[in-house]
Amino acid sequence: MDDIFKRSEHHSGWWEQFRARAFKLLRSSARFWWIAFFTTAAGLAVASWVIFQQQVVYVSSGRMMVSGRINIQEGAVFSEELANFFGTQTELMKSSEVRTKAVNLVESTDPQLEPIPTQLSVSQLPQTSIFVLSTTGSDAQYVQKLLDAIMTEYIATKKEMRSSKSEDTQAAIVEEISRVEHEMQQSEQDLLNFQKANNVGYLEQEGNSAGVYLASLNRQLADLKTQYQLFGTMDLDEVIAKTQNDPGHAGDLAARASDPQSHGLFGTGMQPEDQYLEARQQLAVLKSERDELAKTFRPKHPKMTDISDKISQQEILIATLRQQSLDRFKTIRDSIKGQIDNLNKVISEWDKKALSLSERLADYNQIKGNFDRTKNLYDRLVNNLHDVDITRNVDQDLISILEKASSAQPVKPGFERVLTVGTCIGLLIGLSMIFFLDHIDDRFSSPVDVQSRLDEHLLGQVPSQKQKGTLAPLRENDSRHAFAESLRGLRSSLLYLPFEGQRPKTILITSAVPDEGKSTIALNLAIPMAFAKVRVLLVDGDLRRGSLHKSLDRKSGPGVSELLQETASLDQCIVPTSFQGMDLIPCGKQAQNPGELLLGPRLEHFLREIYVLYQYIIFDSSPIMAADDSTSLAPKLDATIFVVRFGRSSAKVAKRALELLSDRQANVIGVVCNDVSEAYGEYYQYKYSEYYGSQKSAV
């Protein structure tokens, strides 16, 4: 998760730096726009001079309409695909062959004209098949004549190419027709020979009959194999059981057994198997009678003895009939086997006969198919040959001259190109100069720029104010909402900024060079503190050019200068302001040696006196790089706030000033960005001025 946050912060930091850099470059472009304007104007001037020095040439133009396809009958040979057609025609118009023919034509028709070097350009109008041709040269009459000749020779060349192509195609088709005709004659002779040797109708009829007869034989063979299997795997009892379990078959056998004309149970008369079945039935009847008598008589009773003898005799009869039936089944099975063998031979003979018929029919179909294909190819080639003849005689009105060569007009060659190049080079030079000036300009342009170049904490951002003259101090309910809220935010940063030990009370507001807004920040920081019921003292420590008394409409003295020179007491120097809880000690009379006064012992006594009287004491001082006053005063105070102004403060100078403060052991607690443009993309604070307007009543 930490890696994800680090990657996100890295991406965000890169994006912020890029936007800050782009914003700074846009501001530089707005500031130095005149450089690009003058370099572009210079480029145009140079281009105009180059055009003026060029020799005048003459240009003649004409138009041609060229279609990409000839509308002839279906199957036409000559056609050109539009995908590559227009590029091909352009190159053909500009070809050396067409140009040579055109030059010769001009020499033959106008021998008084001397040939001169010319240039030909060809372009196509968008979404049309119209070509615009232009020739350029030093002789107006020759240029016009040559362009007419080029268009004429182009049409002639196209006709020659088409005629030559048609002749080549015709010769190829005639040769192919001769070959195909020979093949067709050979195929036709093969077909006649086959029909003479074979009766095609008989073959087709015999083939169908053989198929039907083979199907019938295969069904008979299947029935015999079923009977053979039945007699080979079952004995007499199994056959009877199968007959009794198959109602349909059992009914059929029963019907044959009861039919006087039938040949027995199995269709062959009163055979042993039928007698066997009848004997078994009689045995069952005898056993039933014995069981009934056994209920009445004893085993030795004559009736019981008589019926037992009958049963024994019946069982002997059944055994004899069973053996006779089995012998009969074996004879029948052998007979069926003979029928199966004979039927297999018949089927084999008919298979060979049917296969022979199929092979002859296949040969016939192949010979006839070859003849039909060859004849169709021959017919198509004859049609193509006819179409080629038509193509040669078609009037090619799809290639025509729409506009003949116009009268040659004098022009400066490359006029637009030279102007464009000159303008672009001039503009590029101007933009390069602006980029270079922006690159060497190290002035702060965004909060991101400040944070990337300085190590100190960013305490606040004060937006720029469009106001002429001296900026008026803050007032309660001030209409400058963003300005007021930014200073309230700076006040809150000081009140709640975390410190180790005692919170600083004496605070120095300084900057690197003049006109960076340190005095404005000091004054308008003390005022919001007074609004917050904090007792605050504003001290004008700029003993050279102090001006805080002017902003508060107070006198300049007595002040700090008199206090340090011991010509006035502290009570005499403290001046109440119009803001409750806020007092001012002005700069006083300009001193000759302010640096020595700030290093004297009187300053230590002065600081001890005011330290117990106020909750916060805010000092304004001279710029660090302008005088040594601030670097002498800063170490004696609790904290220092460094002010930079966008578009004015140099990063190099600001870093040097902060190094001087660090060398003097000053406690720099942060940086305030002054004059921040609200147009900067990353300035979001206090931009919503409508939030401070009067609240509308809800409907």
Contact 552, 473 (CB under 8 A): yes
Q: Which residues pair with 582 in a beta bridge?
A: 536
Strands 130-137 and 119-124 come out as antiparallel
| pLDDT reported for residue 190 | 80
CATH number at residue 500: 3.40.50.300
Per-residue pLDDT tens for 526-544?
Answer: 999 888 888 999 999 888 8
> Is there a single domain that holds both residue 297 and residue 219?
yes
| Mean pLDDT across 416-440 | 81
Instruction: Please identify which residue in the block is written with the tokens 């004696």.
Output: 636
Question: What are the counts of helices (DSSP H) followed by strands (DSSP E) for the chain?
Answer: 21, 13
Strand ranges of the sheet holding 536-540, from the earlier edge strand across to the other edge: 458-463, 668-676, 639-645, 506-511, 616-620, 536-540, 582-585, 575-576
Distance CA 358, CA 360 (A): 5
> Is there a single domain that holds both residue 566 and residue 649?
yes
Residue-number span of the structural domain to which 243 is assigned: 202-393
| pLDDT reported for residue 13 | 61
Asked, for residue 76, whether it belongs to a domain, the answer is no
> Is there a single domain that holds both residue 386 and residue 304?
yes
| pLDDT reported for residue 84 | 73
Distance CA 461, CA 644 (A): 10
Residue 412: is its pLDDT beyond 60? yes
Distance CA 187, CA 167 (A): 30
| pLDDT reported for residue 235 | 63
Residue 200: is its pLDDT beyond 90? no
| pLDDT reported for residue 68 | 59
C-alpha Rg value of the chain to the nearest Å: 62
Asked, for residue 74, whether it belongs to a domain, the answer is no
Report the mean per-residue pLDDT for the chain: 78
B/e letters for 215-231, b = 16+ CB within 10 Å, e = fewer, are eeeeeebeebeeebebb
pTM, two decimal places: 0.48
> Is there a single domain that holds both residue 573 and residue 672?
yes
Asked, for residue 8, whether it belongs to a domain, the answer is no
| pLDDT reported for residue 239 | 63
Contacts of 330 (CB under 8 A, 6+ apart): 231
Distance CA 385, CA 408 (A): 47
| Mean pLDDT across 371-375 | 85
> Is there a single domain that holds both residue 336 and residue 468?
no
Contact 114, 139 (CB under 8 A): yes
pLDDT confidence of 699, banded at 50, 70, 90?
very low
> Is there a single domain that holds both residue 465 and residue 370?
no
Asked, for residue 172, whether it belongs to a domain, the answer is no
> Is there a single domain that holds both residue 499 and residue 623?
yes
Residue 188: is its pLDDT beyond 90? no
> Is there a single domain that holds both residue 381 and residue 482?
no
Residue 249: is its pLDDT beyond 50? no
Please report, rounded to a whole number, the percentage of residues in the chain having pLDDT higher than 70. 81
Residue 691: is its pLDDT beyond 60? no
Distance CA 376, CA 370 (A): 10
Contacts of 457 (CB under 8 A, 6+ apart): 669, 670, 671
Q: Which of 373, 393, 413 is the last residue of a domain?
A: 393
> Is there a single domain that holds both residue 451 and residue 368?
no
Distance CA 183, CA 169 (A): 21
Asked, for residue 660, whether it belongs to a domain, the answer is yes
Geometric angle at alpha carbon 576, from 570 and 577, rounded to 5°: 140
Per-residue pLDDT tens for 21-53?
Answer: 676 677 777 777 888 888 888 888 887 887 777
| pLDDT reported for residue 83 | 53
Total of domains in the chain: 2
> Is there a single domain that holds both residue 373 and residue 471?
no
pLDDT confidence of 399, banded at 50, 70, 90?
confident
> Is there a single domain that holds both residue 346 and residue 493?
no
Asked, for residue 145, whether it belongs to a domain, the answer is no
| pLDDT reported for residue 474 | 83
Q: Which of 353, 369, 393 is the last residue of a domain?
A: 393
Nearest Cα residue to 314 out of 288, 270, 280, 290: 280
Asked, for residue 583, whether it belongs to a domain, the answer is yes
Q: Which of 374, 393, 412 is the last residue of a domain?
A: 393
Asked, for residue 591, whether it belongs to a domain, the answer is yes
> When comparing pLDDT for 628 and 271, which is higher?
628
> Is there a single domain that holds both residue 376 and residue 313?
yes
| pLDDT reported for residue 677 | 76
